[in-house]
Amino acid sequence: MSDLGLAVVIEDDADVRNILEALFREWGFGVYSAPDGKSGVEVVRRHNADMVTLDIGLPDIDGFEVLRRIRKFSDAYVVMLTGRDDEADILTALYSGADEYITKPFRPRELRARLTAVMRRPRHAPPSETLSAPSPAHWPSSAFGNGSFITHNGLTLNPQTRTVLVDGTTLVLTPSEFDLLHELLEATGGVRTRADLVLALRGERNRHDIYVSESAERAVADHIGNLRRKLRDDPQSPRWLDTVRGVGYRLAPVQPPVPDEQT
């Protein structure tokens, strides 16, 4: 196996497919390819791919359906690489489990930088883990006891095990939701703009020279909305996530402990 693992290119345009194959080999991947969606799913399954680039406009089934099928069995990094730049397509891809969305035409150096940033992120949990999670009583005793966790107003996050408890109850989050929550907890009350959070999700924190599109910022806002719903956090009186209008987000202030009732 090559140093960086195996990449699969799912692309119906032969010229683009050949370019991507050559680039992946140059970068140190083993590489396979497929000209349509159904065969692409099987190639990913057969070779246990580490990285997948996926076009949307395929001749049999579209890239969104390919992505959904891949996510049923694979934790590979999946990058949508397509000529379609509609906001609805971007959001659909991200919600369906894509790690990145890059529009054609692409520049090889930028593509490599974006793929490198993607590979710095933790892989998606295996499908059986994303559908359900054990109750708190079934977490290993070490899951929240190694001293690396972060706590805030009854919430406990462990970056090493990527686990979250709220008032002792397990909270199941998507990778993006977990990373956003982790970023805001690490900011310890500092404001993070939507652009900051987009770059954090891409693994490009503090890279202020990189353009962040409005659609990417809206995707972050949608992720924050989903995170709030899972936390059951009231936006009008937040316990964890506070919106700074026109800017971004920060942690809600620390709440004082409720005093014990005197008897």
Where residue 168 sits, what CATH number does that domain have? 1.10.10.10
Could you give the angle at the alpha carbon of 257 between the alpha carbons of 223 and 144, nearest 5°?
Answer: 55
Same domain for 184 and 247: yes
User: Residues with Cβ < 8 Å from 84, sequence gap 6 or more?
Assistant: 56, 57, 103
Same domain for 246 and 151: yes
Whether omega before 105 lies within 30 degrees of 0, making that bond cis, reads yes
Task: Give the closest residue to 193 by CA, choosing from 121, 243, 252, 253.
Answer: 243
**Does residue 79 lie in a domain region?**
yes
pLDDT (average), residues 217-221: 89
The string of pLDDT tens digits covering residues 65-74 is 999 899 888 8
Q: How far apart are CA 78 and CA 80, in angstroms?
A: 7
DSSP 174-239: -HHHHHHHHHHHHTTT--EEHHHHHHHHHT-TT-TTS---HHHHHHHHHHHHHHHHHHT--TTS-S
Same domain for 222 and 150: yes
**Does residue 134 lie in a domain region?**
no
Q: How far apart are CA 257 and CA 153, in angstroms?
A: 9
**Does residue 263 lie in a domain region?**
no
Same domain for 96 and 164: no
Residue 106 belongs to domain spanning: 6-119
The string of pLDDT tens digits covering residues 6-41 is 999 999 999 999 999 999 999 999 999 999 999 999
DSSP 89-132: HHHHHHHTT-SEEEESS--HHHHHHHHHHHHTSPPPPPHHHHH-
**Does residue 111 lie in a domain region?**
yes
**Does residue 64 lie in a domain region?**
yes
Same domain for 67 and 150: no
Q: Which pTM does this prediction carry?
A: 0.52
Confidence (pLDDT) at 95? 72
* pLDDT band of 175, cuts 50, 70, 90: confident
**Does residue 206 lie in a domain region?**
yes
Q: In total, how many domains does the chain have?
A: 2
**Does residue 258 lie in a domain region?**
no
Same domain for 237 and 187: yes
Confidence (pLDDT) at 9? 97
